[in-house]
């Protein structure tokens, strides 16, 4: 559903039921999802949602509800206080053959992984430049357009770079990506009120902007995990980020292309509207977590135009489409064309 339906303790968004309240109870009744809090009750047909996202503690779910979600193919995503998915319940089986994963592993060694890593980084930089170009118009700050041009010059360097093995390529690709990121985030800092204390992207900074970005990126990871899994890919075997035990590095790779338009734009919009999240000991409060999760999930319905497609596509559809394209490119031994906005 594209319409937002406010619920005390949760909100029904773009095919996602986001639960963000203390004392909320979710149960199943007559084939429907029932949300209860403080004497209020809302009924949601499973056909209206793709997933239930629990973003705060103090939420109870019945085993009957879990069976209903599984039977109807509705995923359950549980996020911790930092937005990291601590549990994802999805179907016990998928129809994809193991061919895709075999090709994914082989691509790490035969050079195809280098092309994927370069393409993902190039698309991320393109989308950062696109975001700045859009902000230059919306905020009447022409200097942002010049910063976008600097990023595009780095994109040209990346496209022309001669890359060796995947391990060697990572160093060159991530150096250019980091240089583009410094330009991008210093430009975003120019847009935001100084009282927010945002000087640039720093994962470990306790300021409200970085804390909000960390949380929203984690929400995006859960969406990317789902898309990659449904495409038959192994979320834990990446190309751009170095493999680490227990870390879904392909999710991190894939999400890079969607961060500027899907997450960064959502967070910047909220902050420019005057909203300021409450942060304590580096953690967002319950209300802020719900608002940020909903802001990201709401943008899934926003349509954008891309360099590789004649018609517009929503971010939600793009998350699925470009995961399937990655899987197909690996199976067919052809270059991957990622998500690049225009």
Q: Quick check: 12 pLDDT over 70?
A: no
Higher-pLDDT residue of 111, 83: 111
Please, which pLDDT band fits residue 102 given cuts at 50, 70 and 90?
very high
Are 85 and 77 a contacting pair, CB within 8 Å?
yes
Cα separation, 214 vs 315, whole angstroms = 19
User: What's the pLDDT at 93?
Assistant: 57
Please, which pLDDT band fits residue 180 given cuts at 50, 70 and 90?
very high
- What CATH architecture applies to the domain 99-332? Up-down Bundle (1.20)
Which tokens is 295 given?
């802001």
7-16, 46-55, 249-258, 333-342: segment of lowest average pLDDT: 7-16
User: What's the pLDDT at 325?
Assistant: 97
Q: Quick check: 211 pLDDT over 70?
A: yes
Please, which pLDDT band fits residue 331 given cuts at 50, 70 and 90?
very high
- Number of neighbours of residue 140 by Cβ within 10 angstroms: 8
Cα separation, 235 vs 118, whole angstroms = 18
Which tokens is 299 given?
């943008």
Residue matched to tokens 């149960």: 27
286-298 helix and 208-230 helix, angle to the nearest 10 degrees? 50
- For residue 258, give the nearest of 220, 230, 295 by alpha carbon: 220
- The vertex-154 CA angle with 151 and 155, nearest 5°, equals 90
Cα separation, 272 vs 133, whole angstroms = 17
Mean pLDDT of the chain: 89
Mean pLDDT of 59-73: 90
Please, which pLDDT band fits residue 75 given cuts at 50, 70 and 90?
confident
- The pLDDT > 70 percentage for the chain reads 94
* Residue 101 half-sphere exposure toward CB, CA atoms < 13 A: 13
Mean pLDDT of 63-75: 89
Cα separation, 315 vs 216, whole angstroms = 15
User: What's the pLDDT at 1?
Assistant: 28
Instruction: Report the chain's terminal Cα–Cα distance, integer Å.
Output: 26
Domain limits, CATH 3.100.10.20, in the chain: 5-89
Mean pLDDT of 272-300: 91
Q: Quick check: 339 pLDDT over 50?
A: yes
Domain limits, CATH 1.20.120.920, in the chain: 99-332
Which tokens is 150 given?
């600097």
Mean pLDDT of 213-218: 95
CATH number of 5-89: 3.100.10.20
Cα separation, 267 vs 216, whole angstroms = 8
Q: Quick check: 22 pLDDT over 90?
A: no
Q: Quick check: 185 pLDDT over 50?
A: yes
Residue matched to tokens 């064309």: 337
Please, which pLDDT band fits residue 47 given cuts at 50, 70 and 90?
confident
3-state secondary structure the chain: CCCCEEECCEEECCCEEEECCCCEEEEEECCEEEEEECCEEEEECHHHCCEEEECCCCEEECHHHHHHHHHHCCEEEEECCCCCEEEEECCCCCCCCCHHHHHHHHHHHHCHHHHHHHHHHHHHHHHHHHHHHHHHHHCCCCHHHHHHHHHHHHHHHHHHCCCCCHHHHHHHHHHHHHHHHHHHHHHHHHHCCHHHCCCCCCCCCCCHHHHHHHHHHHHHHHHHHHHHHHCCCCCCCCCCCCCCCCCCHHHHHHHCCCHHHHHHHHHHHHHHCCCCCCEECCEECHHHHHHHHHHHHHHHHCEECECCCCCCEEHHHHHHHHHHHHHHHHHHCCCCCCCCEC
């Amino acid at each position: 559903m594209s319409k937002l339906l406010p619920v005390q303790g949760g909100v029904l968004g773009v095919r996602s039921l986001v639960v963000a309240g203390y004392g909320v109870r979710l149960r199943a009744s007559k084939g429907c999802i029932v949300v209860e809090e403080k004497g209020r009750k809302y009924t949601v047909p499973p056909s209206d949602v793709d997933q239930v996202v629990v973003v705060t503690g103090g939420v109870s779910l019945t085993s009957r509800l879990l069976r209903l979600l599984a039977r109807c193919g509705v995923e359950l995503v549980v996020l911790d206080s930092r937005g990291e998915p601590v549990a994802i319940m999805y179907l016990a089986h998928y129809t994809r053959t193991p061919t895709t994963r075999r090709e994914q592993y082989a691509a790490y060694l035969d050079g195809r992984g280098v092309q994927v890593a370069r393409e993902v980084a190039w698309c991320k930089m393109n989308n950062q430049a696109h975001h700045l170009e859009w902000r230059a118009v919306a905020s009447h700050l022409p200097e942002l357009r010049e910063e976008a041009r600097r990023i595009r010059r780095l994109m040209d360097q990346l496209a022309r770079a001669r890359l060796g093995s995947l391990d060697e390529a990572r160093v060159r690709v991530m150096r250019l990506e980091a240089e583009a990121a410094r330009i991008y985030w210093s430009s975003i800092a120019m847009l935001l009120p100084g009282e927010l204390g945002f000087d640039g992207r720093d994962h470990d900074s306790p300021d409200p902007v970085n804390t909000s970005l960390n949380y929203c990126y984690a929400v995006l990871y859960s969406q990317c995990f789902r898309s990659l899994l449904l495409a038959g890919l192994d979320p834990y075997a990446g190309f751009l980020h170095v493999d680490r035990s227990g870390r879904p590095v392909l999710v991190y790779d894939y999400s890079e292309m969607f961060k500027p338009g899907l997450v960064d734009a959502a967070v910047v919009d909220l902050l420019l509207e005057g909203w300021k999240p409450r942060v304590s000991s580096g953690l967002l409060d319950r209300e802020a977590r719900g608002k940020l999760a909903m802001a990201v999930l709401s943008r899934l319905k926003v349509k954008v135009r891309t360099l590789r497609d004649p018609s517009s596509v929503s971010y939600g559809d793009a998350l699925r489409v470009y995961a399937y394209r990655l899987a197909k490119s690996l199976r067919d031994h052809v270059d991957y064309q990622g998500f690049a906005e225009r």
